[in-house]
Structure 1
Amino acid sequence: MLNLSDSLALPRDVHPDILSARAWIGKLGGNPVKPQSFAASEVLAVGHFRFDGLAEEVEAPQLPFHYISVTLGGPLIVEARLGGEKVKARVLPGQSLIMAAERSNIWRWDRPTEEAHVFLHSDFLERVASDAGKGRAEICDRLAFTDTRLRHTILALTEEMQRYGRISTLFFDMAADVLARRILFRHCEKDGKSAAKGSAGALTARQLRRVLEVVEDRLSQDISLDDLASAAGLSRFHFVRAFKTAVGMPPHRWLVGLRIEHAKELLLSRTATIIEVAALVGFESQSHFGQVFLSQVGMPPREWRRRALS
């Protein structure tokens, strides 16, 4: 998982597709709202930028991503030519816009705005569509619509990016899956194929044990959704639903809780430092660990240790 700081030069090994998303924002004059305003995985990028009014038309590059935004400014009038089709809408704060990948796109809007947005790779959406038995995913370009679930997911990504300075691989994976499923079932052309009717039953006890074994073996490492799904012998699409049915919460939240509970056990040892505990349970820094521990437990790890050992 990559985090691209606007105050630093982009890493040389960033995938060209990710660079195209960042270049697209730059072409339209995006300015970072906060120090950490752009982050990306292989299939999903998230940004939070402010844009001046665009009185004259600007042509932006085509993207290998499906683009979804949430308007935080406004209201404003947006005019665009997407794939040659002219569209115009009044966009209110909280409303969204979707543009399918590989569209020619020319833009103009009448006043400054602030946007939270994601770029979902088209190849990933096709994989999710195939997994769900939907055939090809033909996205409908849409301006000025309200989708509460999409908005919450996008804003959760921007908040996570600011809160901890990075977004974990598993959180990114979960967000990509939520966005892909929402777009697939709510914002795509109907192709005559219905979603697979396969059982959405819970993981078996054996599958849960395998997932837990992977997590325990790799608790100090970054763990992806593919790692967990593979352990259960399921696709990502089916694993998320089966896991939540079995455990009662999504994999990301479960894993965070597991890391914190293991951290508590380690904190009971007087010999382990806070930074050592953080590394042992998979946090990249002591500050990141401290923030998550505080949010989960209600006090910093040092204070929790003091009380537990007193």
Structure 2
Amino acid sequence: MSAGKILAIDYFQPDSTSTFIPRPRIHSSQQAGWKNIQIAHYQLPAIEIPETTNLQHFISVPSWKQPTEVEMVANGKRHLFQHDPNEIGYIEILPAHTSLRVRTNHAADTTHCYLDPIFLTHAAYESANPEQVELKLSLSVTDPLVCQIVLALKTVLETDATNSCFYAESMATALAAHFLRKYSTRKYVLPEYEDGLCRYKLKQALEYMNVHLSENVSLAAISDELGISQYYFCRLFKRSTGMTPHAYLIQQRVERAKQLLKQKEGTMLDIANDCGFANPSHFAKHFRRLIGVSPNQFRKI
């Protein structure tokens, strides 16, 4: 890299941070097949990161082990923050193409989230102002919802990210809607869709999900089948059914599993695979949560 040239980072590419972050990611969604959103979890020492620019919208959710000073130079402007280990819900939001240099004087446990700018722009098509979206630089702000979404995605990676695409797409859609409402440089009014899906569209969505129940079905595939956007579909589906598409999908997988368990045939691995669960552990977790007993206990009833 020539002197004075800022390194542009595509966080959707493998090992994109290896040249300036000294430790590898503890967890990463790179191998999970997610689209539009990625997660990376780091345990970082005191660090000085040279000036870079991000090709995706960048969200950082740090957790400090001791009182820490953080210096950020964003788009040429210096910001100095003092952070305490008891702080909860603090985040940083760097719009795509923000130049940033960072220095910290103590270690941190940090989860990074990267959101595709094109995906965010597509979400804006549901508003009255579908021009290209620009986000506000937001450093050291409190946002429990963003924290909850990012840390929920990290938890998926820590447990089992297999067949997690649908969940990740749902979280990306929720994050995009929140960003448009709260962090856009212009006001976006996303409609509430009080009436839900029409009967034909709802039937089409339910049939598609049930036919593809054993597969790693994606939110994008269902939305494309209906000819509407992901945001539009999620909002209307919940209005029609009272639950999110992801919750409905899990419920139907558990219902199919109950039928297979009553037949007294097949191993737990077979049933998990037939119902679209990542593995027997993933299957058992959701089955117990919805039914109140384990699959083995249910089979004996």
Could you state the TM-score of these two structures normalised by the residue count of structure 2? 0.86
Report the secondary structure of 1:214's partner residue. helix
Report the secondary structure of 1:227's partner residue. helix
Residue matched to 1:257: 251
Closer/same/farther in 2, CA of residues 216 and 105 from structure 1, 3 Å limit: same
Alpha-carbon separation, structure 2, partners of 1:246 and 1:26: 48
Deviation of 1:61 after TM superposition, in Å, equals: 3.6
Report the secondary structure of 2:64's partner residue. coil
User: Is the Cα–Cα contact under 8 Å of residues 32 and 49 in structure 1 kept in the other structure?
Assistant: yes
Are 1:77 and 2:77 an aligned pair?
no
Are 1:184 and 2:180 an aligned pair?
yes
Are 1:158 and 2:151 an aligned pair?
no
Alpha-carbon separation, structure 2, partners of 1:197 and 1:301: 41
User: Is the Cα–Cα contact under 8 Å of residues 89 and 143 in structure 1 kept in the other structure?
Assistant: no
User: Is the Cα–Cα contact under 8 Å of residues 51 and 114 in structure 1 kept in the other structure?
Assistant: yes
Are 1:90 and 2:86 an aligned pair?
no
Deviation of 1:264 after TM superposition, in Å, equals: 0.5
Report the secondary structure of 1:275's partner residue. helix
Report the secondary structure of 2:69's partner residue. strand
Q: Which moved more, 1:69-78 or 1:203-212?
A: 69-78
Alpha-carbon separation, structure 2, partners of 1:221 and 1:213: 14
Alpha-carbon separation, structure 1, partners of 2:192 and 2:292: 41
Closer/same/farther in 2, CA of residues 197 and 154 from structure 1, 3 Å limit: closer
1:130 corresponds to which letter in structure 2?
Y
The 5 A counterparts of 1:45-56 are 45-54=38-47
Report the secondary structure of 1:24's partner residue. coil
Are 1:208 and 2:202 an aligned pair?
yes
2:115 corresponds to which letter in structure 1?
L
Residue matched to 1:105: 100
Q: Which moved more, 1:213-222 or 1:129-138?
A: 129-138
Deviation of 1:292 after TM superposition, in Å, equals: 2.7
Deviation of 1:305 after TM superposition, in Å, equals: 0.8
Within the candidate set 115, 119, 126, 1:124 is matched to 119
Alpha-carbon separation, structure 2, partners of 1:198 and 1:247: 15
The 5 A counterparts of 1:140-159 are 140-159=136-155
Are 1:168 and 2:164 an aligned pair?
yes
1:84 corresponds to which letter in structure 2?
G
Deviation of 1:178 after TM superposition, in Å, equals: 0.9
Deviations along 1:142-185, one digit per CA (max 9) or x if unpaired, are: 11111111111111111122233446111011011111111111
Closer/same/farther in 2, CA of residues 184 and 24 from structure 1, 3 Å limit: farther
Deviation of 1:94 after TM superposition, in Å, equals: 2.6
Closer/same/farther in 2, CA of residues 204 and 257 from structure 1, 3 Å limit: same
Deviation of 1:31 after TM superposition, in Å, equals: 4.9
Alpha-carbon separation, structure 1, partners of 2:246 and 2:81: 37
Alpha-carbon separation, structure 2, partners of 1:213 and 1:100: 38
1:103 corresponds to which letter in structure 2?
T
Are 1:39 and 2:29 an aligned pair?
yes
Alpha-carbon separation, structure 1, partners of 2:103 and 2:88: 17
2:45 corresponds to which letter in structure 1?
D
User: Is the Cα–Cα contact under 8 Å of residues 11 and 114 in structure 2 kept in the other structure?
Assistant: no
Within the candidate set 291, 296, 301, 1:297 is matched to 291
Residue matched to 1:65: 56
Deviations along 1:7-64, one digit per CA (max 9) or x if unpaired, are: xxxxxxxxx75226x423762334545xxx111422111122111112xx42154222
Q: Which moved more, 1:236-245 or 1:288-297?
A: 288-297
Deviation of 1:271 after TM superposition, in Å, equals: 2.4
Alpha-carbon separation, structure 1, partners of 2:106 and 2:142: 21
Alpha-carbon separation, structure 1, partners of 2:226 and 2:16: 38
Higher helix share: 1
Are 1:270 and 2:264 an aligned pair?
yes
Closer/same/farther in 2, CA of residues 300 and 196 from structure 1, 3 Å limit: closer
Q: Which moved more, 1:115-124 or 1:291-300?
A: 291-300
Measured on the aligned residues, the alpha-carbon RMSD in Å equals 2.2
Report the secondary structure of 1:249's partner residue. coil
Alpha-carbon separation, structure 2, partners of 1:290 and 1:179: 29
Identity %: 24
Flag structure 1 segments of 5+ consecutive residues without an equivalent.
1-15
Residue matched to 1:8: none
User: Is the Cα–Cα contact under 8 Å of residues 164 and 291 in structure 1 kept in the other structure?
Assistant: no
